[in-house]
Amino acid sequence: MSGDLYVHGYHPRENDRLQDQAGTLVELLHSDTIYPDGSSVLEAGCGVGAQTVVLAQRSPGARFTSVDISADSIAEARRRVEGAGLTNVEFLQADVFALPFTTESFDHAFVCFFLEHLSQPARALAILNSMLRPGGSITAIEGDHGSTYFHPDSPAAHAAIECLVELQRRAGGNALIGRQLYPLMLGAGFDAVRVSPRMVYVDSSRPDLVDGFTRRTFTAMIEGVREPAIAAGLIEPDIFDAGVRDLHRTTETDGVFCYTFFKGVGGKGDVALSLQRPEPPTIQAALAPHRHLHR
């Protein structure tokens, strides 16, 4: 992350949730993210390395420099990358607003679930733009909690989700940033910006998603803000708990859960002519039954 507060906290349970999220969404979010051999990629806000492992595995010939402000997160990310047997990643503790690199040092930049935690996401994107060589590209992936809907519907569940949105707003972030990727990237000076929605659709015919996404990624994220939400006076404990129960209710045989991520790609200069435009698959289309899942 950067100097802004990470609303989900730095603790083992959150690390596990991030790994579950990565494992479930790899094809949906990263099927069209592959970097050429020999290219250099700056990953900003790498956290515990959940995305880093996927990126490095999918582009073994590229060289990744992954940065995060948290020393503990960097240590965990390094452990995960080494455990995966990857040798094409270098980690560095650094703040995105004070990167220790000269301008135009990288061919590509990558951020995922990072801008949502920043009070100045536009400034961060502009800095990343300055790090790119002419012809370089950026890939940015963010969620949007306002895109959540489910069956059976539940006012209590929506109230619990809104607690996370509000806590993130108070911490200086924006849990609804996915819908703003296009103007943010344009404002940062990127060319040929294209943004595509990536919907996760979950019903009981996909038990892998019921467990990996609805239970262990999204609902676990909401459960993680129970204490701060109650302490801040945002919600009564019984309403929050009812909301969480109702989110778990969507994992039953007749339940449905939907959430949308947004993936943006943009270029610097002439890359506008060659950037791959992201396609907008749903996770049902992206995840064929024989494929494994990973973040």
pLDDT band at 286 (very low <50, low <70, confident <90, very high): very low
Per-residue pLDDT tens over the stretch 110-169: 999 999 999 999 999 999 999 999 999 999 999 999 999 999 999 999 999 999 999 999
pLDDT band at 19 (very low <50, low <70, confident <90, very high): very low
Per-residue pLDDT tens over the stretch 192-212: 999 999 999 999 999 999 999
Q: Does 280 have pLDDT greater than 70? A: no
* Element housing 157 (H / E): helix 155-170
pLDDT band at 269 (very low <50, low <70, confident <90, very high): confident
Q: Give me the count of residues in the chain.
A: 295
104, 129 contact by CB (below 8 A): no
User: Structure pTM?
Assistant: 0.86
User: What 3-state class would DSSP assign to 160?
Assistant: helix
For every residue of 214-247, DSSP letters joined together read: IIIIIIHHHHTTHHHHHHTTSS-HHHHHHHHHHH
> Quick one: pLDDT at residue 177?
98
Least confident range from 121-135, 207-221, 236-250, 278-292: namely: 278-292
Q: Regarding the domain delimited by 12-145+173-200+260-286, which CATH topology (the fold level of the hierarchy) does it fall under?
A: Rossmann fold (3.40.50)
How far is C-alpha 94 from the geometric centre of its chain's CA atoms? 19
How confident is the prediction for the chain on average, in pLDDT? 88
Q: Does 283 have pLDDT greater than 80? A: no
23 against 244, higher pLDDT = 244
> Quick one: pLDDT at residue 10?
47
- The fraction of the chain above a pLDDT of 70, given in percent, is 83
Per-residue pLDDT tens over the stretch 74-113: 999 999 999 999 999 999 999 999 999 999 999 999 999 9
What region does 49 belong to: left with phi over 0, alpha with psi -120 to 50, or beta?
left
> Quick one: pLDDT at residue 6?
46
Q: Does 22 have pLDDT greater than 90? A: no
